Structures are given as structure tokens and as C-alpha cells.
Amino acid sequence: MTDTSSTDSSSTDTTRASSGPAARETGTGPAAATRASSSDLLAADTAMGAVTLRVADLDAMTAYYRDAVLLSVLADRSTAGRTVLGRGATPIVVLEHAPELRHAGPREAGLFHTAILFETEADLASAVYGVASRHPGSFTGSADHLVSKAFYFTDPEGNGVELYWDRDRTAWSWTHGQVDMATLALDPNAFLQQNVSEEALVAAASRPASVGHVHLSVGDVESAHRFYVEQLGFETTTRFGPQALFVSAGGYHHHMAMNTWQSAGAGRRQLALGLGLVRIEVPTLDDLGALGERLAHHGVAVRDDGRVVGFDDPWLNQIEVTSRARVS
């Protein structure tokens, strides 16, 4: 794999997030002074669910995520135009066949990347090796972000993909309520040499993975903050003026991010290939109900059947929130 670490725009999640040692403090999350009332926040155990992509070539996209990223096909409804891929019982990517749609323009709002989180560096190395060996031209960059190590790719239809591993939270630092992140050089060849093994490659499909975060391209950061923080209930973990916003629940470095690096001024999305649906999972039905009430209070149009709360962000990115608790 050619070393293009930290050189591509897709690896600039935290390019402007580096913090010097001055005023650095160790903590577990956003500063208490910046937090809203707990009733206005998503539950601490909130997590991301599977991301739906609308695709033109279902077979080629299935092959990429199955044979290169090393996900397993969990549900093959290809005859009905839908394939679900993931690890174990955890869906990660849902592919929906929509060949009649066009690709969105490069400056439109939508998906920046889907970030798949792996449990160990060996697990991450196996997935990186899988993509690098089968689709070497899709590699766009790599970086050590202090909180994580990440590798960036573009799938066959232009959707951004991040594969990453988190350092333990005890190793993260927070400064004035913002998590310390950076974009440091990470040599992909050295990483693979140190972490990939035949044993890990054989076991890869059986190892856990999940969607760690979803990064969106949006038209402006102020509207993103108003929607995702003030209304939806995430907390800000890092913000870079009018260019990027990182948000999370429960002190994670980020569950979602929004940037204007390529999409400043973008308006509402038209139906197109690419991002179809972002899923968020809250722990309990009470959490789900509270979210629905909070969004309605803020005037957000909500689709709520008691099991799923669905809504659109200001750019018509569709979001669904479910509870991990079973409905009896």
C-alpha cells in the first residue's frame, strides 16, 4: 500500500483539532459548564446503527463490503434489491438498489463517510488489508487522531469509508470541554506489518465491528449545531468555527460530525444515490419517547410509530432512532 497518510481530504476529520500541551486536562467528556439539562440530552449509552446506502450496482457494492471490508452478508434480499452486511448479529451497511437515481454532485450535502469501528488493532488491520489488497485504488489516507487510528477509503460508488480503532478512553484528554484530537502521520504499511496476521485474517468475519460514527457534509455548521445539539440532544465535543462540528452522547469523541469543507452553502438534498438513512440507537423506550417529545417541542416533523422515531435534518438527511429494548 502506498503511504498517503494524512494527505487526503477524507482524513481531515481533525485536521484543525490539534491542541498543544497548554491548558490540557484529563477528563471524561464535555465540560460540565457546557452541558445542557439531562432531559435535553440523548442517553449516555446512545450508539450508531447501520447506515443505508442507495446504490446503482448492488452486486459490485455487496462484493466491496463483503470481500474487501470483510463484512458478512446478514440478509440477502438481492432479488428485492436489498442486502444487509455486518458482523455477527450487528448490521453495519444496508445496500438498497436504486439504479434509476443519479449520483449527487460533489458540493451537495450528504454522506462524508461511514466510520466502522473495530475492537482491536489486529481486527482493523485485517479490514485495511482486505480493502488494500482487493481495491488498492480506493485508499485515500490514514491518520493517528490521538483518540483513534483511522484509515480512509472510497467505495466503488464514491461513498467515503473510514475504518478505525479507538484507544481506551482513559488515554483521551479534554481541554476546556473539547476532546483533544489531531491528524498525525500514520504509515499504513508499517501498521499492517505490525498488526496483520494470517490468524487474524481467517478470524476477521467472526470478529465484532459496528458503526462508530457517521460524518456528514452539510451546508452550514450553525444550522447543524442548532439541529444536532440543541434539538436532537447530542453534546458538542469539538467545533472549528464555521467549518466543522463534532458531537456525541456519553462523552464519546464523536458519534456524528458535520463539515462544510466541500459543501458550504448546500441546500436540501434531492433524491440521489449515496446516503439513504442514518440510524441511531438509544437504550430504552423511555429514551425514545423523550426524544420524540423533545423534537416535537422544537417543531421538528416526526414520524413516530412507538418503535421508530424518524425525521429529517435541515438538508433532508433521513434519520431513524430506535430503542435497543424489545417492544413486548
Instruction: Concatenate the DSSP letters of all residues of 231-271 into one string.
Output: IS--EEEEEETTTEEEEESTT-S-SEEEE-TTTTT--PPPS
Alpha helix segments (H runs only) across the chain: 58-63, 121-134, 188-195, 198-203, 221-225, 285-297
328 domain-assigned = no
Return the pLDDT at 4.
Answer: 52
243 domain-assigned = yes
- Say how far apart CA 177 and CA 236 lie, in whole Å: 9
Q: Which domain holds residue 61?
A: 9-323
- Say how far apart CA 129 and CA 136 lie, in whole Å: 9
Is the predicted pLDDT of residue 17 greater than 50, yes or no?
no
Return the pLDDT at 18.
Answer: 38
63 domain-assigned = yes
Return the pLDDT at 23.
Answer: 33
Return the pLDDT at 9.
Answer: 43
* pLDDT, tens digit, 9 for 90 and up, residues 66-87: 999 999 999 998 889 999 999 9
Residue 42's closest CA among 252, 267, 265?
252
1 domain-assigned = no
Is the predicted pLDDT of residue 22 greater than 50, yes or no?
no
Is the predicted pLDDT of residue 327 greater than 90, yes or no?
no
Return the pLDDT at 225.
Answer: 98
Is the predicted pLDDT of residue 270 greater than 60, yes or no?
yes
Number of domains within the chain: 1
Return the pLDDT at 189.
Answer: 97
Find the farthest-apart pair of alpha carbons in the chain and give their distance in angstroms, rounded.
58
Which residues have a Cβ under 8 Å from the Cβ of 96 and sit 6 or more positions away?
A: 52, 53, 54, 55, 81, 82, 276
Residue type, position 54, single letter: R
280 domain-assigned = yes
Return the pLDDT at 134.
Answer: 97
Residue the block writes with cell 488494500: 132
CA atoms within 13 A on the CB side of 39: 3
Q: Global pTM?
A: 0.91
149 in helix, strand or coil?
strand
- Say how far apart CA 73 and CA 142 lie, in whole Å: 27
Q: What are phi and psi of 197, to 5 degrees?
A: -150, 155
- Percent of the residues in the chain that have a pLDDT greater than 90, as a whole number: 85
Return the pLDDT at 78.
Answer: 83
Task: Look over the chain and give the mean of its residue pLDDT values, rounded to a whole number.
Answer: 91
Return the pLDDT at 79.
Answer: 85
4 domain-assigned = no
CA angle centred on 93, ends 7 and 48, rounded to 5°:
85
- Say how far apart CA 54 and CA 293 lie, in whole Å: 30
98 domain-assigned = yes
Q: Compute how many other C-beta atoms are within 10 angstroms of the C-beta atom of residue 26.
A: 11
With bands split at pLDDT 50, 70 and 90, how would you rate the model's confidence at 33?
Answer: very low
With bands split at pLDDT 50, 70 and 90, how would you rate the model's confidence at 39?
Answer: confident
CA atoms within 13 A on the CB side of 207: 20
With bands split at pLDDT 50, 70 and 90, how would you rate the model's confidence at 3?
Answer: low
- Percent of the residues in the chain that have a pLDDT greater than 70, as a whole number: 88
- Mean pLDDT value of segment 267-293: 97
Instruction: List the CATH number of the domain containing 262.
Output: 3.10.180.10
Return the pLDDT at 123.
Answer: 97
Residue type, position 44, single letter: A
CA atoms within 13 A on the CB side of 196: 16
With bands split at pLDDT 50, 70 and 90, how would you rate the model's confidence at 34?
Answer: very low
149 domain-assigned = yes
Answer with the residue of higher pLDDT: 11 or 143.
143
- Say how far apart CA 235 and CA 255 lie, in whole Å: 10
Report the chain's C-alpha Rg in angstroms: 19
